[in-house]
Amino acid sequence: MTAKKITLSAFIERNKHIILQAYFLIYLPWFAYVERTVTTHFHVIHVALDDYIPFCEYFIIPYFLWFAYVAAGIGFFYLKNKDEYFRLCAMLFTGMTLFLIISTLYPNGHYLRPVTFERQNIFTALVAWLYKTDTATNLFPSIHVYNSIAINMAVWHADNFKKKPVVRIASAVLMVSIILSTMFLKQHSVFDVATGIILAVFMYLLVYGKSRFGVPAMEQKMEGRNLHRI
């Protein structure tokens, strides 16, 4: 019995950081609320560049891969790199909370979606299903864009992948594909994408505390002091 208690205690100690995922108990009901209440009366999001981007149903593939990409990123760092896991969660959850606050205080939506599809195939069928299950409201900053950038930044920042260029490049390609998919599927305006990118860059600088040379500011100060002493 003692051995079992010790083992259980050790397991809880090793995995107590999973408590951060309780955030979704807040996020999901809040998101469901704004999705349910913001349906017709909202501020229309539209920029001129939106009209030049064609609809392309094939981007439904990277759009749906986003769910696996984010889940795999969180799961990997949870298991393999606790420090990176905390940074990633801080970046993800802060941005997602700001998104919810904006959606609540400034209801928004767009009319970019095509009424009919020029072709009928499995991809347009998936897009039609997406349109039925996800309203064209609560758009900016785009969480698809923001979270994709957050995962990719974690992959490129983590020591786990410093010597794995294939993984890093694959992550970057998937991130770019997901970002493009939000516009080519007419799920988001260019404005949503731009604000998602701006917020992601800002939060990266805030959470990771990097200088423009990629060296932690505190380390730079310490190195400067040591050189001065020498």
Task: Tell me the average pLDDT across 68-88.
Answer: 93
pLDDT tens across 1-60, in order?
455 555 655 655 666 677 888 898 999 999 999 888 877 788 999 999 999 999 999 999
Which residue intervals of the chain are DSSP H helices? 2-15, 24-37, 60-80, 82-105, 122-133, 143-157, 165-184, 190-208, 217-229
Q: CA gyration radius for the chain?
A: 21
The distance from CA 229 to its chain's CA centroid, rounded to whole angstroms, is 44
According to the model, what pLDDT value does residue 9 have? Answer: 58
Token representation of residue 194 = 């731009």
Sign of CA dihedral 48, 52, 53, 54: positive
pLDDT tens across 120-149, in order?
999 999 999 999 998 899 999 999 999 999
185: DSSP letter: T
Cβ atoms of residues 211 and 217 within 8 Å? yes
Neighbours of 48 (CB within 10 A): 7
Cβ atoms of residues 154 and 90 within 8 Å? no
pLDDT tens across 175-208, in order?
999 999 999 999 999 999 999 999 999 999 998 8
According to the model, what pLDDT value does residue 42 have? Answer: 87
pLDDT tens across 151-182, in order?
999 999 999 999 999 999 999 999 999 999 99
The angle that helices 82-105 and 60-80 make with each other, rounded to 10 degrees, is 130
Cβ atoms of residues 108 and 181 within 8 Å? no
Measured between alpha carbons, how far is 40 from 107 in angstroms, rounded to an integer?
10
Q: Using 50, 70 and 90 to split pLDDT, how confident is the model at 75?
A: very high
Q: If we measure between CA atoms, which residue out of 181, 47, 163 comes closest to residue 110?
A: 47
